[in-house]
Structure 1
Amino acid sequence: MRIAGSILVGVIVYLIGLFTSAMALTANTWAFSDGELNDTGIVAVLLLLLIWGLVFLRHRWPWVPFISGGLLTAGWGDALMLLIAVFHLVIRAPRRQAIAASAVAVGLVVFSTVRMCLAPAEHNPFSIFFLPDPAQVTGLEATIPPEDSHLAITIITIAAGVIGLCTAVGVGVLLRRTRRMRAVESIAERETLRNESLTAQIARQSERELLARELHDTLSHRLSVISLHTGALEVGAQTDPEVASTASALRAEARASMEDLRHLVGGVRNGSLAGSRPSEESSVPPSRATMAAIPELISSVTSTGTVVYPLVVLQDVDACPPALDRAVYRIVQEALTNAMKHAPNVPVSVNVAVSAVRGIQISVSNPLPCEPGQVDVPPRPRHAPGSALQPGVHASAHGRRLAGHRPEAQEVHLESTGSGAGLIGIRERTEMFGGEASIGAFDNEFRVQVSFRPFSAQN
């Protein structure tokens, strides 16, 4: 529509320009012989057909019609093409070029107007409106207007020049200013959006600072106290190997928790928790919350006496997005924590399969309680993490909570020993990355099953 409109306007201007140039031809005596158009005049009219074709270049190359219009104004007396070119130059050209073009146009139009006013009235193109018989403009006697119309012809000539200049330059300046205001408004709108974004970033940074400070002040002290007490317990329990082993495991977990806390606080403070993995040369210790640390996580759980049957296959871990890498570790960690919390002394099966092509499959399960009437068999000692339970052995704590559950899948309620936020967190982490989670009782087992699409689909 825009191109079609521009072409239509160009055609209209072309036709009007030919008419005005034909009128201006009457001011040139060399184009007529005995009141009739001679061969030179015919050639001039044919040239006008070509010259006015330059008006279609007014948008892309306005200097071309400006030069042609200047020549027509100086030698022909027709300033329409010059005014059209000045209009487009004022709108689009740089400020200095627009001022220069306007000054040149004013000088040429004034020169052409003064020349027409000083020339005989019969050679003024506007005298055609005062002829006694306009139908006989080709007759030499008929082209002489009455003497009482000379003043009116002069006034019309001056008025036409002034109106043309004011319209071309004035409207051009107005449109140029309008475009500039629109550009300024666009820049102001972008700056406003940028300021709003910066304000939101500053607010989030303040929230992160507050959260990091609270995390550090709240947990750092408690973990330090736990580490000191477990160290003292380990030293004082040299005569009891089981207590010493448990205290050593607790102290190792407290130290690892301190490292994780420092990484968490640093990530919250600078907003880099979802960023890329730290390089090996970095002075900041890498986070333990990665899939590569899952075997270490299982070892820390077995060191507490919990029997774990792991099957971990990790492939293409380096190609996994950092946020998904951390989420998988947290899901396995929370599933193990849930099993130890609600079903102590019960063996836990952990199956983790990671592949960039097949995706990620996680399954953490532990047996459900025995049927009513069966007797729970006491579990094996906690210091034997590698041992397996005898057939029929089930945890009493977890068993009492799930004694009334059927084999089909259903949600487990943890109101008496926890808020259930861990399972909710697993579901939220899974949904965040477009995975699927199934949590509940299945075939006499409590299972946490999570699956993610291949890494390429995640990206």
Structure 2
Amino acid sequence: MTTTGEDHAAARSGPWWWERRRGALLDVGLASLSAVECAFEGIRFATDAGIPAGVGVVFGALAGSALLVRRKWPIAVVLVAIAITPAQMGYLMGVVGLYTLAASELPRRIIASLAGMSLVGMLIVMFVRVRQDIARGTLDLGDWFVPFAAITTAVGVTAPPLLLGLYVGARRRLMESLRERADSLERELQLLAERAEERAEWARNEERTRIAREMHDVVAHRVSLMVVHAAALQAVARKDPEKAVKNAALVGDMGRQALTELREMLGVLRSGDGARRAERVVPLAAVGVAAAAAASRAVEEGDGPCLSELDELIGQSAAAGMVVDLSVEGDGRGYPAQVEQTAYRVVQEALTNVHKHAAGAKTHVRLAHRSAEIAMQVENEPPPEAASASSARLPSGGNGLLGMKERVVALGGVFVSGPTDAGGFRVSAVIPAAA
């Protein structure tokens, strides 16, 4: 499991400036060792300086305990170590202080300057100390050993902690950069997941709306004709039995056609069972988009209505007692399935609205085949005073015009509807031929 930057910041549990308790315990231990070391070395310093040994011990202990604040003020710790280097004490503090300074986020020029001062200070002290030891006879070596010992000791005490600190600091910055990248990647993945879910929900809503439009067109038109024929059947049942039988047959045909189209629609919906079973192993967002696309392709590639069936559609309305006048301009040609289905549904829904709201009104259906588009218009005259849509008791949900407009606009077309000056109603639509 990856530890992100937020988790790393939340893991701070140490007192004061320490991030963790173990870091505080480590610094306390190092400061104690440094204080003890400097205290022992303070005895010799007090002897050489001619001051009481207790003063040297206290001075050494206080100076060595400065290592406690190495994480908070590494520059101060290194300066203290450099300051007490002439007293030949604070070696542990110098080594740990240089390491902490090099591993910190301070500018490189400051680190290099303090490291150079520490190197020079150690070099001078060791040069003097080795020279004094040779002068006392403690070391029986040539003069060449003095610079060699001074340089070797100074570099050996300064270079390793400095290089190790630089390495640890670079590694620490790299880990911090990786944590930030992990945080950024996690946020991006979360945002992508949210967007994918939004797209899936949008696709599901679009598919539900499209299927609802299809079912509305199928049911509204067929059932409206069935209700009109049933009302006519009720009116002529006793006066004209033959016409009543004819109307009853038409009602039966309409019902069978409506059931057939509904079965086709339900078959498309049942095809989504495989997609629903796939949700167990595939993310919901991908399944939602795939299922919606599959259902859309299944309906669009199916045997839907086309413009060649307009004569049959108008004949059904004429059989229901509507006077319909069809006029076609231009030569018909093959259009994409979506274009033909949309044009057919617009005419179908417009005729359904005439049955509902203007029963008995004469209706004009105009179809124009143009070079780059196909236009259609359904206009009805005012209904006769004797006829009334209420006599058939046809309900209206107000979704017909909205559904037609959505269909046409989705293909890049233009849809206009509204009452005419003569008191009728007009529905007009223009659809690009290559939509």
Give the TM-score of the pair, scaled to structure 1. 0.44
Give the TM-score of the pair, scaled to structure 2. 0.46
